[in-house]
Amino acid sequence: MANDTQQVLTAHTGQPAVFEEARDPVTRRAFIKSVIATGAVASTGGLMLTGLSGCSDDATPAAGSVERLVTLNINGKSRPVDVLPNESLAMTLRYKLGLTGTKLACDRGECGACTVLIDDVTHNSCSTLTHSVRGREVTTVEGLEQPDGALHPVQQAMIDELGPQCGFCTPGQVMSGVALLKNNPSPTREEVREGMAGNLCRCGAYDHYLNSIMRAARVS
Amino acid sequence: MAFKHIGKNFTPPDVRAKVTGKAKYSEDFRAEGMLFVKLLLSPMPHAIVRNLDASEALKMDGVIDVLTADDVTNIPEPQMPILTNHPKYVGDPILAIAATSEQVAADALEKITIEYEPRPFVIDPLKSLYPGGPDVHDSGNVALFRGKAESYKWTARDFATAGDDELPRGKPQGEWERGDVDAGFANAALVLDETFVVAGHPHQSMEPRSSFAYWENGKCYLHASSQSHTFNVPDYAKYCGIETEDLILIAEYCGGGFGSKGTAYPIATIPAHMSKKVGRPCMMRVTRAEEYFLGSRRNGFQGNVKLGFSEEGRLIAADIYVVQQSGSNDSFPDYANAGEALSLVYTPEAMRWKGIPIATNTPPTGAQRGPGQNQLACVMEPLMDKAAKTLGVDRLAIRELNAPTDGTTFGGRDNTLSSAFLKEAMSQGAERFNWEEKKNESGQRKGSKVVGIGVGQAFHPGGSSGFDGLVRIAPSGKVHIHTGVGNLGTYSYASTSRVSAEVLGCSWENCVIERGDTRRHLPWNLGQFGSNTSYTMSRTNYAGAMDAKMKLLEIAAMDLGGAVDDYDVGDDKVFSIADPEKNLTFAQAAQRAIELGGKFSGEEMDEDMHAITKASVTAMAGTGLIGAAKDKYPSNGLPPALATAFIKIELDVETGKYEVLEYVGTADCGTVVHPQGLEHQIRGGGVMGIGMAGLERIVYDPQNGLPANIGFHQAKPPSYLDVPAEMDVGYVDLPDPTNPVGARGIGEPLMGCAGAALLSAISDALGGVYFNRTPVVPDMIINALADRPQSYKTLEVSSQ
């Protein structure tokens, strides 16, 4: 392997001399040095990024992990489900219980798109282990609509005020709004702004979401 | 013209599903036997893959197969590949692996061995232009949009002449000139000569571009996150290696795009290729970090602009040179758009534009909301303030003096405008903001807080023409409006569909919008990008509905007697003008169209429509009254989208931080089609502009080519707390003469004017410090206040 490395690098020493005279040749030399230092020429594999909360319908368990059957309380219903030890609530909801209203946008607790209520308190379901919610009440966006189709006041207000744009952050915004009004039924606009601050929206629909929550507070 | 639907609010048909969680985005679909696909990404900024060994990975339980560049459609450089053996940035996808679970796929990636041969890389465009500097592509460093790459090198003399703090100006890729620029500068009372940098920044759509695909009976079913629909079908089919008619594209919802999902992007077809290879459905979940590599970003600028003003503040001459940091793919022409925007918004009597896009070993770039125009706004608006203050002219007056009007010509080819009401937008904004009083607050100090008052303007082309409209009146009497434009989240797919209802005089409740799935027989429409939808699709839908209306009138004249002119449409009927009791319901007319056949029910159609539209018409032939026509209405000049913004900030001189206290955005977009949707755009554009001006930039380690910010926390899209709790909006609402309902587009400049206004306000609060750099971040402000040198070199990019 050392020989291979040498050959590869040799191929790059034949730069035109004029390059060496250019204003800042450090970059190229520093790069090659860093390659030698880290042995990256014969790198194994690629860039490794975020952790995974992987699972699937017909999961072949990864080495050392075994699914366990647990019973969860989701939207008032008892839901038995096989869960890996490292499985996030968002993945269980989305890939095992068919509740795809909960969105994954960052998978690391930065954006609030996966917000659900656990015992009426907002949580980022991407960063909550499913095993930790046994015996607790989980509410997702799918749990807000009444059987007769009546929407939660926050949802209805979001239709009336045209709260969403693209809609991807909307379920998280809805859940944060619902939790906020449970704790503070008559908030000021500033309190709603502070309370919703954990939910990012790239479309910048913040003003419209604030209007929606304020309207929901008025009518409920 | 009094409208029944245009200019009125309504509940768009997709909003309920968004608030209930029932709206299905690409990652929300499932299929029996679905596999998970994970990508192996390049750890190096530039390399050649010499040897790739996946044998150990393939032995693992649950691993099904791998896919490499050799297995997929070859897309020649400089365009983005699907997978590559020549990675050009850290994060470039080299290989995909399919497994029964995502965890297994991720574990298997670690078993893959790849030998990389590193190549010289470049982050700063100017370093690629050095004599002997590295080229990203085999064939060069200047890669034109959808074109080939060529190598451009400037001379050592070009660099030596400029020195460290000035833009070297070697041979450009493009240039034009209008009027006598040099004479203009000679006659100017004030000349500004400024070097500038605008950072590239990622699109950061909330929905990562996950995609899902499977094959059935020779057809590929692709769920891709897409702003546009029909427009992207031919390219996606090409990337899949199949005929257009064999691709079913499902894209009913798109979780944000901002230009990054406007056209087809090759990596969306990775699961399609994998699925074809393994015979099972494949889901590729793209992570947030991956989205920073695959999700596109705005092109960065290094440049110089020279501006010559008369004593009154009229811009006599302008000379701009833009070097564009283009990333690792073919370059969207931001650098050219910036020149056009300068010429249009400030109407200099003489002007020269030069520009060159340079490929760098950073992720692919593309159009982001106002590509070029919004960078230009961030460069120019603070300089208009500087000129105004130096000349002792009011900041609004100097903008008004230079603003375009209907008769303005611009650019290198004396282009014209269909109409322009920028002055009206600005005076409306000034009134809403109370500029006359508020400008006196400039520089007022309370404790450590100082007030800054800012104003900004921006432009983007606002429409196109020549696409096909399609409606079907079913025997039930329902009007089905087929739209292939896509659903970016602006609701304009729906508001422009109401033009069809307007033409047909029918109730909105009687209309059904058919969209989001190729199987719904969609017409050939332009994509949902470039602020074009309100203009283009209102023309298009007008054309399709007019064709249906003519057929309704003909059927009525045929069956009820008299001439076509004796009839009109309204209340879901075609009726005799003289005797409204003499009428056919839409249901009756549709039944008659089926009986009559031929052109009435789609068995015959205009030949000048696109093949995709014709296929859709043929598929529906005989099922109702078909209205289908190409938009051939006359055009007269470019329909502009124009916007202005006013901002008040309080800047803390101890921390360099500021709060945006007040925001007013106003739009000139012709006739307003959908007020609520427009207000959303004005405010949302304002939020993105505040991010562009003060928060967002790509940052790279210049030593190793590694990205420093690939998470929301570091890349900083604005949150609720970065923008005012209430943002005021206004609009001119004057019709454009070249659109049947008077509409023009608007989405993009609403961001640029906001970013420019924030920069204007920061400079104002600092008593006239002009950074010539976007974004302006607190440490720059603190350095300026303390009279310390900045931590970056004048032309430095991506590394601070």
For the stretch B555-573, pLDDT in tens is 999 999 999 999 999 999 9
Measured between CB atoms, which of A22, A84, A202 is closest to B205? A202
Measured between CB atoms, which of A98, A102, A141 is closest to B20? A141
Min mean pLDDT across A85-94, A186-195, B696-705 is at B696-705
Please give the distance of CA B754 from its chain centroid, rounded to a whole number.
16
Contact B707, B700 (CB under 8 A): yes
Q: Determine the distance in angstroms separating the CA of A134 from the nearest CA of chain B, rounded to an integer.
A: 23
The pLDDT assigned to A36 comes to: 41
Contact B511, B551 (CB under 8 A): no
Q: What element of type H or E holds B757?
A: helix B749-765
Instruction: Look at the domain A65-111+120-140 and name its fold.
Output: Ubiquitin-like (UB roll) (3.10.20)
The token duo for B64 is 């099904």
pLDDT digits (tens, 9 = 90+) for B163-176: 889 999 999 999 99
- Report CB contact under 8 Å: A155, B256: no
Alpha carbons A107 and A129: distance in angstroms, whole number: 12
Other CB atoms within 10 A of residue A150 CB: 11
H-assigned helices in B457-531:
492-504
Measured between CB atoms, which of A54, A165, A200 is closest to B712? A200
Residue whose C-alpha is closest to residue B439's, from B19, B728, B727, B765: B765
- For residue B25, the chain A residues in CB contact (below 8 A) are 103, 168
Measured between CB atoms, which of A46, A142, A210 is closest to B94? A46
Give the residue on B whose Cα is nearest the Cα of A160: B11
Interface mutation target, options A50, A94, A161, A165, chain B, most CBs of B under 10 Å: A165
The token duo for B482 is 């087929």
Q: Determine the distance in angstroms separating the CA of B324 from the nearest CA of chain A, rounded to an integer.
A: 20
Other CB atoms within 10 A of residue B473 CB: 27
- For residue A18, the chain B residues in CB contact (below 8 A) are 131-132, 156
The pLDDT assigned to B249 comes to: 98
- For residue A52, the chain B residues in CB contact (below 8 A) are 102-103, 106
Q: Kindly report whether the peptide bond that precedes residue A16 is cis, defined as omega within 30 degrees of 0.
A: no
Tell me, yes or no, if A19 comes closer than 8 A to chain B by beta carbon: yes
- For residue A190, the chain B residues in CB contact (below 8 A) are 725
The pLDDT assigned to A49 comes to: 55
Measured between CB atoms, which of A40, A55, A166 is closest to B101? A55
Tell me, yes or no, if A29 comes closer than 8 A to chain B by beta carbon: no
Give the residue on A whose Cα is nearest the Cα of B689: A204
The superfamily in CATH containing domain A144-220 is: [2Fe-2S]-binding domain (1.10.150.120)
- For residue B290, the chain A residues in CB contact (below 8 A) are 49
Give the residue on A whose Cα is nearest the Cα of B90: A47
**pLDDT band of A220, cuts 50, 70, 90:** confident
Q: What element of type H or E holds B230?
A: none
- For residue A104, the chain B residues in CB contact (below 8 A) are 27, 208, 285
Measured between CB atoms, which of A56, A145, A171 is closest to B102? A56
Strands B282-284 and B35-41: parallel
Q: Determine the distance in angstroms separating the CA of B115 from the nearest CA of chain A, rounded to an integer.
A: 4
- For residue A84, the chain B residues in CB contact (below 8 A) are 103
Alpha carbons A120 and B26: distance in angstroms, whole number: 29
Measured between CB atoms, which of A9, A23, A168 is closest to B206? A168
Rg of chain B over Cα atoms, rounded to whole angstroms, equals 27
Residues 131-190 of A with CB under 8 A from B: 140-142, 144-145, 151, 155, 158-159, 162-171, 174, 189-190
Q: How many CA atoms lie within 13 A of B684 on its CB side?
A: 27
Give the residue on A whose Cα is nearest the Cα of B685: A204
Interface mutation target, options B9, B11, B14, B19, chain A, most CBs of A under 10 Å: B19
- Report CB contact under 8 Å: A166, B727: no
Angle among Cα B290, B292, B294 to the nearest 5 degrees reads 65
Type of residue at B197: V
pLDDT digits (tens, 9 = 90+) for B710-728: 999 999 999 999 999 999 9
**Mean pLDDT, chain B, whole residue set:** 97
The pLDDT assigned to A51 comes to: 41
The token duo for B43 is 């750890």
Measured between CB atoms, which of A9, A16, A197 is closest to B721? A197
Tell me, yes or no, if A82 comes closer than 8 A to chain B by beta carbon: no
Contact B280, B271 (CB under 8 A): no
The most distant pair of C-alpha atoms in chain B lies apart, rounded to whole Å, by: 86
Angle among Cα B4, B5, B11 to the nearest 5 degrees reads 140
| Residue whose entry in the numeric block shows the structure tokens 């302008």 | B318
Alpha carbons A59 and A55: distance in angstroms, whole number: 6
Q: Determine the distance in angstroms separating the CA of A74 from the nearest CA of chain B, rounded to an integer.
A: 15
- For residue B686, the chain A residues in CB contact (below 8 A) are 204
The most distant pair of C-alpha atoms in chain A lies apart, rounded to whole Å, by: 78
Other CB atoms within 10 A of residue B621 CB: 17
Interface mutation target, options A203, A208, A212, chain B, most CBs of B under 10 Å: A203
- For residue A208, the chain B residues in CB contact (below 8 A) are 679-680, 683
Interface mutation target, options A7, A31, A97, A151, chain B, most CBs of B under 10 Å: A31
**pLDDT band of A39, cuts 50, 70, 90:** very low
Q: What element of type H or E holds B585?
A: strand B583-585
Alpha carbons B262 and B527: distance in angstroms, whole number: 6
Q: b vs e for B718-730, b when ≥16 Cβ sit within 10 Å of the residue's Cβ?
A: bbbebbbbebbbb
Residue whose C-alpha is closest to residue B716's, from B690, B691, B751, B693: B691
Alpha carbons B110 and B398: distance in angstroms, whole number: 61
Residue whose C-alpha is closest to residue B470's, from B548, B538, B549: B548
Please give the distance of CA B110 from its chain centroid, rounded to a whole number.
37
Tell me, yes or no, if A60 comes closer than 8 A to chain B by beta carbon: yes
On the question of pLDDT at A62 being above 80, the answer is: no
Give the residue on B whose Cα is nearest the Cα of A56: B101
Alpha carbons B215 and B34: distance in angstroms, whole number: 12
**Mean pLDDT, chain A, whole residue set:** 80
Q: b vs e for B100-130, b when ≥16 Cβ sit within 10 Å of the residue's Cβ?
A: bbbbbbbbbbebbbbbbbbbbbbbbbbbbbb
Rg of chain A over Cα atoms, rounded to whole angstroms, equals 25
Q: Domains of chain B, with CATH numbers?
A: 27-119+206-294 (3.90.1170.50), 300-462+638-785 (3.30.365.10), 465-630 (3.30.365.10)
Measured between CB atoms, which of A41, A57, A168 is closest to B207? A168
Contact B579, B560 (CB under 8 A): no
- For residue A34, the chain B residues in CB contact (below 8 A) are 703-704
| Residue whose entry in the numeric block shows the structure tokens 């029909």 | B230
Burial of A71 (0-12, 13-18, 19+ CB in 10 A): exposed
Other CB atoms within 10 A of residue A95 CB: 25
Alpha carbons B592 and B742: distance in angstroms, whole number: 34
- Report CB contact under 8 Å: A162, B677: yes
Q: b vs e for A155-190, b when ≥16 Cβ sit within 10 Å of the residue's Cβ?
A: bbbbbebbbbbbbbbbbbbbbbbbbbbeeeeebeee
- For residue B489, the chain A residues in CB contact (below 8 A) are 164-167, 203
Query: Which ranges of chain B have pLDDT less than 70?
Result: 1, 799-800
Q: Determine the distance in angstroms separating the CA of B232 from the nearest CA of chain A, rounded to an integer.
A: 19
- For residue B67, the chain A residues in CB contact (below 8 A) are none
Strands B190-198 and B773-774: parallel
Give the residue on A whose Cα is nearest the Cα of B104: A62
pLDDT digits (tens, 9 = 90+) for A102-157: 999 999 999 999 999 999 999 999 999 999 999 999 999 999 999 999 999 999 99
Give the residue on B whose Cα is nearest the Cα of A149: B20
CA dihedral over B239, B243, B244, B247, signed as positive or negative: negative
Residues 83-142 of A with CB under 8 A from B: 84, 94-95, 98-108, 110-111, 113, 140-142
